[in-house]
Structure 1
């Protein structure tokens, strides 16, 4: 059993909203709290999106971890869902701004869940693009004693998008236009989206170009190389959005990182028994399918090894 409570943290213009999930048996004094950082686009605190994702991976993960004694906070991004009042325009955001929100959440956790042996430590769990947000804020997050990255990019996001376009043969007619758009935004230059093929106009719409320019400027491998805390990189072998190579790039860049490759896990952290794409995509809309047990096991084992008094390598 678990106990869930709606909580808030201060945002730029209004409250940020989230859910605290605690073990029914109570919280151990020295147990860290996971801060689940959502992925790209309109992804809510449960891991769902109006763009067709209803798998609820973050909600399922939070409850499964609480049953292992691990508390967590999962959050709505500024300008969206329960955090709609935090900023007036959810598209006028930056990686640094999202990082500011993680700082506010970490302060909330430290204040509301103090430990008896010292400040409660916070471990961000960044999923997909949320991994980049977590990496970018770690040098400012004094409350953190570790980091978990799940299905996170190991290269600049523009390079991940390039591969996504290349890997789908149906995108061949769009390849040249997509590359032109990506190169323009990488240079920090906006483009006229109306000149692009219709299938690309939403991806590169004027409203999101400012954010894309910002997000393309961050290199996850460089960011992780500077970390002085224990890191766990979790990657599904059947992730069709972020390939296994990205996880290996992250782990290679951070020698202190643990790498967990989970062969039958996909991007929404569900088990997919075969390589069939339709079966994989079907899990994106199945909230009744449990979170992959291997994900829970890997994260739980990592978190329970971390203590506020641990050194940079996780040892006492």
Structure 2
């Protein structure tokens, strides 16, 4: 499918050198609707490096927020990258924010749609004359999307932040272990069947929010991807970043990813949680930061990314 680019007229001109970042709204047409994002440009030191930032799971917008939680984690990351001369593009996922009209119906959505979207944004950036190096930064679920998108030659480096190190069905099983035993007992045969590519008609009412019929096709498409296999395919610089107080993705996930790609650099940032904020392992206080946009992200994260990207 041919990709049609939509952008402001300023994109067709040569960028002048400015000391402060320039933020512009850009969009692409995927054929099923428009995706909108923010291109943040900073020509500091004449850098021609741009990072594509891919958000995590759920209805997450370009800033890292959902309808129920505002933390501005991805916006803060983009702003901090601009200060070191790294431009960035972050975008609203399908069905959320200004990309809401591009959202397919839940029973039509597939994990590959998100991969294709990331590929389209990479192509978009490659067609701009302002950049000669593209870095893909994937957060959480976005890390898996980024691993696949980074397998194309147009991507120069890949960064995984809080990326899972195992297939999502196993992650779901592990998370269900913290629930009453009946949750895992009833979920196991459902997960096994979905893993085989088969839909499940009769789902217990208390599990319907997780395994409702309309989402099963998406889960089947997601289960096909193993992060370890995908990151092993990357024959380019890879950085794996994990926070020590992330209560959604653990250090073991980072270890698994690093073991799958021996050339990858693995970095653990102390006291950083899933959304890049400083937190303890206390679950209530950790989750509280998910809705505190006034909290800044850990400066160590930007330092680590800067060293990897600019060297």
SS in 2 for 1:73: strand
The 8 Å contact of residues 249 and 274 in structure 2, kept in 1 or not, is answered as yes
Q: Which residue of 2 aligns with 1:214?
A: 221
Kindly provide the CA deviation profile for residues 142-188 of structure 1, in whole angstroms up to 9, marking residues without a partner as x: 2110100000111001111111111x2x4433121122221121111
Q: Which residue of 2 aligns with 1:245?
A: 252
Aligned residue runs from structure 1 range 1-316, under 5 A: 2-23=21-42, 26=43, 28-50=45-67, 52-89=68-105, 92-115=108-131, 120-139=132-151, 141-166=152-177, 168=178, 170-192=179-201, 195-198=203-206, 200-272=207-279, 274-305=280-311
CA distance change for structure 1 residues 286 and 189 in 2, over 3 Å: closer, same or farther?
same
Aligned equivalents of 1:74 and 1:92: distance in 2?
A: 24
SS in 2 for 1:77: coil
Aligned equivalents of 1:223 and 1:206: distance in 2?
A: 28
Aligned equivalents of 1:91 and 1:251: distance in 2?
A: 34
Aligned equivalents of 1:112 and 1:91: distance in 2?
A: 35
CA distance change for structure 1 residues 79 and 12 in 2, over 3 Å: closer, same or farther?
farther
Aligned equivalents of 2:74 and 2:180: distance in 1?
A: 30
Aligned equivalents of 1:6 and 1:68: distance in 2?
A: 21
The 8 Å contact of residues 244 and 270 in structure 2, kept in 1 or not, is answered as yes
CA deviation after TM superposition for structure 1 residue 92, in Å: 2.3
Task: Give the structure-2-normalised TM-score.
Answer: 0.88
Aligned equivalents of 1:298 and 1:72: distance in 2?
A: 16
SS in 1 for 2:101: coil
Aligned equivalents of 1:204 and 1:121: distance in 2?
A: 41
The 8 Å contact of residues 231 and 256 in structure 1, kept in 2 or not, is answered as yes
The 8 Å contact of residues 138 and 144 in structure 2, kept in 1 or not, is answered as yes
Q: CA RMSD in A?
A: 1.7
SS in 1 for 2:217: helix
SS in 2 for 1:112: coil
Aligned equivalents of 2:107 and 2:304: distance in 1?
A: 34
CA distance change for structure 1 residues 225 and 70 in 2, over 3 Å: closer, same or farther?
same
Aligned equivalents of 1:197 and 1:298: distance in 2?
A: 45
Task: Give the structure-1-normalised TM-score.
Answer: 0.87
Gaps of 5+ in 2: 1-19
Worse-matched range after superposition: 99-108 or 246-255:
99-108
Aligned equivalents of 1:88 and 1:20: distance in 2?
A: 24
Does 1 or 2 have the higher relative contact order (CA < 8 Å, sep 6+)?
1
The 8 Å contact of residues 122 and 145 in structure 1, kept in 2 or not, is answered as yes
SS in 2 for 1:221: helix
